[in-house]
Structure 1
Amino acid sequence: MADLHVELVAADRNVWSGEAHLVVARTKSGDIGIMANHEPVLGVLRSGPVTIRTSDGGTVVAAVHGGFISFSDNKLSILAEIAELAEEIDTERAERALQAAKTADDPGAQRRAEVRLSAAAGAH
């Protein structure tokens, strides 16, 4: 099976880089799955989990907030405002952030906390 090269980059760091069979991300137009030889794509990311099925059979899940996705010539770039790998997420802290956001009636913070919890759950 052919592979594609993936770069997941946040504003402050390179989050993950490697070869993959499939990447699933959430865009403003809906969820999209990218495999090798997909037609070129440029899209605006929505907050949500990004799932990367790696070439070695593993799975990488990240919580992504905002940014862009770009694919051409079997190279996929995910350029996010904020991105965290699922294993980096402190679920207790994310739960506290979710409760605080609900109390403060802050939908943006609530969505970010929900995405973090969803990504952390998707990695297990």
Structure 2
Amino acid sequence: MKTIKVSVVTPDGPVYEADVEMVSTKAESGELGILAGHVPMVAPLQIGAVRLKNGDQTDFVAVNGGFLEVRPDQVTILAQSAEQANEIDLERAKLARERAEQRLNDQKRDNVDIRRAELALQRAVNRVNVSERNV
């Protein structure tokens, strides 16, 4: 099977670079599966996992939004932040999830920015999910 070059980049630098057979991720418009030779496109990404399949190996990268650019020979993901599954501090991610859940539960008493707390929860849950898939 043909491969496609994939780069996941954040403002802090590259997070993942490899040649893979297939890229799967969630864009704002829905789930995308990309193979070599895919029609060029640009799409905004949701907070979620990027699955990178090559043979019988699948790598996972947690991305916190951003954009996906597809060219026939290359996929570039520009994310605000991203982490490979094996680099996620699972305990820290679980604590972040608990803090975000607590903020949402305390919203009646405090002056909580609900949207910000929901996004923090989505990011934390995504990091936990991606990390646990890699175990």
Q: TM-score, normalised by structure 1?
A: 0.94
What is the CA-CA distance between 1:8 and the residue it aligns to? 0.8
What is the CA-CA distance between 1:69 and the residue it aligns to? 0.3
What is the CA-CA distance between 1:39 and the residue it aligns to? 1.1
**1:116 counterpart residue number:** 127
**1:61 counterpart residue number:** 60
**1:35 counterpart residue number:** 35
**1:48 counterpart residue number:** 48
Give distance in 2, aligned partners of 1:73 and 1:38.
5
Letter in 1 for 2:42: L
Letter in 2 for 1:109: A
**1:10 counterpart residue number:** 10
**2:118 counterpart residue number:** 107
**1:79 counterpart residue number:** 78
What is the CA-CA distance between 1:45 and the residue it aligns to? 0.6
The answer to whether the 8 A contact 1:52-1:61 is kept is yes
Give distance in 1, aligned partners of 2:69 and 2:125.
25
Give distance in 2, aligned partners of 1:78 and 1:57.
23
Give distance in 2, aligned partners of 1:123 and 1:80.
20
Q: Percent identity?
A: 33
| Superposed CA offset, 1:22-47 (max 9, x none) | 00011000110100111112100100
The answer to whether the 8 A contact 1:59-1:123 is kept is no
Give distance in 2, aligned partners of 1:77 and 1:52.
12
Which structure is higher in strand share? Answer: 1
Give distance in 1, aligned partners of 2:88 and 2:58.
16
Report how many aligned residue pairs link the two structures: 123
Q: TM-score, normalised by structure 2?
A: 0.87
Larger radius of gyration between Structure 1 and Structure 2: 2
Give distance in 2, aligned partners of 1:58 and 1:17.
15
Give distance in 2, aligned partners of 1:11 and 1:58.
27
Query: What are structure 2's unaligned runs of at least 5 residues?
Result: 105-116
Give distance in 2, aligned partners of 1:57 and 1:5.
17
What is the CA-CA distance between 1:73 and the residue it aligns to? 2.5
